[in-house]
């Protein structure tokens, strides 16, 4: 199944896929509201604002699998993200990124190796990032790689052409 045609739901429960984003540059991130890395929302929103006009979007996928750091309902997540960090990029329903109930989108994404350490397989923590180029190729970045990290910014710039 193609990354772009995997069934998903938006944060408000509407059925969708990533088909509207095909041919764009995407940064797919598993997010959480109560994590030490949560302030990365600020940088992710800056990336969204900086590059959206060039065919780029951050896509957030809340996940509660890492020490219960995303316990909220869809409404609580939306309110927290918009009021605390001014998030305007799309958020999708809370999913599992590891284990037997891993969402099919992440089953496909985890096959990509991290540029820094060649890690494949399970998501290591909240805010692991997958940069999807317009051609569908995927580059993986560890959770500690901030949105401002020169390696990530350079990869986004390269993907955007």
- Per DSSP, the three-state class of 21 is helix
The DSSP result for 44-106, as a single string, is HHHHHHHHGGGTEEEEEEE--TTTT-----HHHHHHHHHHHH---S-BB-----SSTT--HHH
Query: What whole-number distance in Å separates Cα of residue 15 and Cα of residue 121?
Result: 27
63 is catalytic: no
Q: Which of 4, 34, 35, 42 is catalytic?
A: 35
- Active site members: 35
């Amino acid at each position: 199944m193609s990354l772009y045609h995997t069934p998903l739901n938006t944060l408000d429960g509407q059925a969708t896929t990533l088909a509207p984003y095909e041919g764009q540059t995407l940064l797919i991130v598993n997010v959480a509201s109560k994590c030490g890395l949560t302030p990365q929302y600020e940088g992710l929103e800056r990336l969204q604002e900086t590059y959206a006009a060039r065919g780029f979007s951050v896509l957030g996928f809340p996940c509660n699998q890492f020490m219960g750091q995303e316990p909220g309902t869809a409404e609580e997540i939306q309110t927290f993200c918009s009021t605390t960090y001014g998030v305007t990029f799309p958020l999708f329903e809370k999913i599992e990124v590891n284990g037997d109930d891993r969402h099919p989108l992440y089953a496909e994404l985890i096959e990509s190796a991290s540029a820094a350490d060649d890690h494949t397989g399970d998501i290591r923590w909240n805010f692991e990032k997958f940069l999807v180029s317009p051609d569908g190729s995927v580059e993986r970045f560890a959770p500690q790689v901030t949105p401002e990290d020169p390696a990530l910014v350079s990869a986004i710039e390269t993907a955007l052409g």
